[in-house]
């Protein structure tokens, strides 16, 4: 039995890092607007974070 490493393509890694960074920025926006009691903007930050995270998972599976 041979063992092989699955390293992923450059596109997979690059897009995963991009959408991970977008998700992180949206999460920080959610945190910042939540602290200042701007609930609508905090909700949009949460939505952006969830959307970017979902796309991140899809990219990993699509190019994996």
| Residue 53 lies in domain | 10-63
Residue ranges of the chain with per-residue pLDDT less than 50: none
Q: What is the pLDDT of residue 6?
A: 65
**pLDDT at site 3:** 55
Please indicate, yes or no, if residue 1 is contained in any of the structural domains.
no
Residue 43 in domain:
yes
Please answer whether residues 19 and 56 qualify as being in contact, where contact means their C-beta atoms are separated by less than 8 angstroms: yes
Provide the pLDDT for residue 9: 82
The reply to whether 4 falls in a domain is no
In a domain, 28, yes or no: yes
What is the rounded CA–CA span in Å between residue 31 and residue 61? 29
Taking each helix axis from N to C terminus, what angle separates 39-63 and 10-35, rounded to the nearest 10 degrees? Answer: 170
- Write the pLDDT tens digit of every residue in 2-15: 556 666 788 899 99
When divided into structural domains, the chain yields a total of: 1
* 2 found inside a domain: no
Q: Does residue 3 lie within any of the structural domains?
A: no
Residue 5 included in any domain: no
């Amino acid at each position: 039995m041979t063992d092989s490493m699955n390293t992923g393509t450059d596109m997979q890694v690059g897009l995963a890092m991009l959408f991970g960074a977008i998700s992180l920025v949206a999460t920080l926006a959610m945190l910042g607007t939540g602290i200042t009691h701007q609930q609508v903007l905090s909700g949009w930050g949460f939505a952006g974070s969830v959307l970017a995270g979902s796309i991140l998972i899809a990219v990993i599976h699509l190019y994996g």
